[in-house]
Amino acid sequence: MISPIVPVFSDSRIMISSTLNDTPTGDMDNISFTFSGRRFVATSAGPLFTFNESISFIVYCKTIKENR
């Protein structure tokens, strides 16, 4: 899903891709990647959770002061 998009953006790459097998909701896929130097994480939570429009953001801060 991410692999075809990575070459389109400069400073982009797949960092980690893993699968957790046999979770209560089925197999779960995780991928950590960067687009234009920005870090993202995507999760596919198994067949019980279908695609929807929701999104979550995690903001990485270098110091506690940036978090306020």
- Tens of pLDDT, residue by residue over 4-17, are 878 888 889 999 99
**Rounded CA separation 43/36 (Å):** 20
32: CB partners within 8 A, 6+ apart: 14, 15, 16, 17, 39, 40, 41
- Tens of pLDDT, residue by residue over 14-57, are 999 999 898 887 888 888 999 888 888 888 877 777 777 877 77
Whole-model pTM over 0.75: no
